[in-house]
Amino acid sequence: MKYFSKVHCCKRYFLLSFFCIFYSSFNYAQEEEKEERLPFDAVIQSEMGGKRMKFYGNTRFNFNQAYFSNWISGGESALTLLYGLDYNFNYSDRNGFVWDSNLLLSIGTTYISGSKFLKKADDRFEINSLVGKQINRFWNYSGFLNFKTQLLPGFRYYNQDGNEMREKVSQFLSPSILQGGLGFYYKKTDFFWLNMSPISARIIIASKNYTRELENDSKYFGVDFNKRSKFFFGALISGFYKKEIMKNIIWETKYSVYVNYLEKTKNIDFDWDTNLRFKVNSKISGNFILHLLYDDDLLGRLQVRELLGLGINIDL
């Protein structure tokens, strides 16, 4: 009888222990589920707190092609290939520290029948990084760093004695733009943010291979004769907005406005890049990109970049 009594006690102890473990696990799972449902930037507002990291982005391959053979109305065959990626890394913790970074790359080439040179269709490389300390749920003190350049040489094409010629006018890191500043950062969701930096420094960097050949007080993308860089100090406002305007049509836009305190204060430089993505299915989509850029120091005229293509997108 004592043996059966001990076995019975052990069974009761085992069942009680199992119930406690199960109940604790169930509660923990519920807490985890509640925490996961919290908005990304609202985690410091929750009683649970905890760190949050997100990595997401898009890789795309686009192409445009035209072919003509014995076409009576005329035309030139052409093929354009484009590759691009846009990736983001977001981090925040319970102490209100926020870190948002972005890597953007877009590169492409065009072949035109009858031309002996492949010509650049697109060439952008940009890194953005912003750190902040949260004031409240949406507002942060912020510091940002931005770097822009190109990867491939840029050429000016011309004809000489009936021959197609080209002259190199730019290259990797020449020109390049480095910006940094302090201010305030507003972020409500991953689909909308605004950064205002009343204290912002800007440097245009160039190779002396181009600046040493300047004449008549001319400048190379704002850099003076035989110099490597040009320093600016001013204010910068930048932002991002993303919205699904119709089913399977996503609109993304990035913008920045810069005012120089030191010279030509009436000139306002702006950079507006908008992208419409037309989704056919999970892998195939179309892209329409319109990029407007005005920088009085780089060129002094409105720069326009427009791309339209069908291709493959890979979302993370």
**pLDDT value of residue 3:** 40
User: Between residues 175 and 34, which one has the greater pLDDT?
Assistant: 175
Q: How far apart are CA 255 and CA 294, in angstroms?
A: 12
Instruction: Please check the confidence at residue 25 and state whether its pLDDT lies above 80.
Output: no
The Cα 171–Cα 286 span in angstroms is 30
pLDDT at 296 over 50: yes
Mean pLDDT of 102-108: 94
Dump strand ranges (E) for 67-153: 78-92, 97-112, 119-134, 139-149
Q: What are phi and psi of 262, to 5 degrees?
A: -85, -35
Q: What is the pLDDT of residue 21?
A: 40
- The confidence band for 236, taking pLDDT boundaries of 50, 70 and 90, is very high
Mean pLDDT confidence for 11-27: 45
Report the pLDDT averaged over residues 80-103.
89
Query: Which of 124, 186, 115 has its CA nearest to residue 150?
Result: 124
Confidence label for 51 from pLDDT (cuts 50, 70 and 90) = low
Return d(Cα 89, Cα 244) in angstroms, integer: 21
Selection from 107-116, 213-222, 262-271 with the highest mean pLDDT: 107-116
Res. 300: pLDDT tops 70: yes
The answer to whether 181 touches 201, Cβ cutoff 8 Å, is yes
Question: How many residues in total does the chain contain?
Answer: 316
User: Per DSSP, what are the bridge partners of residue 94?
Assistant: none
Span 60-81, average pLDDT: 83
Q: Which of 168, 165, 166, 172 is nearest to 154 (CA)?
A: 168
Mean of pLDDT over the chain: 81
Nearest to 166 by CA among 115, 210, 205: 115
Give the confidence band of 308 by pLDDT, cuts at 50, 70, 90.
confident
User: What pLDDT score does 314 carry?
Assistant: 67
Evaluate whether 104 touches 126 at the Cβ level (below 8 Å).
yes
| pLDDT the model gives residue 96 | 85
Asked if residue 172 has pLDDT above 70, the reply is: yes
pTM (predicted TM-score): 0.77
| pLDDT tens column, 192-232 | 999 999 999 999 999 999 998 888 778 898 899 999 999 99
CA distance 76 to 114: 8
More confident residue, 52 or 138: 138
Of 219 and 50, the structure prediction assigns the larger pLDDT to: 219
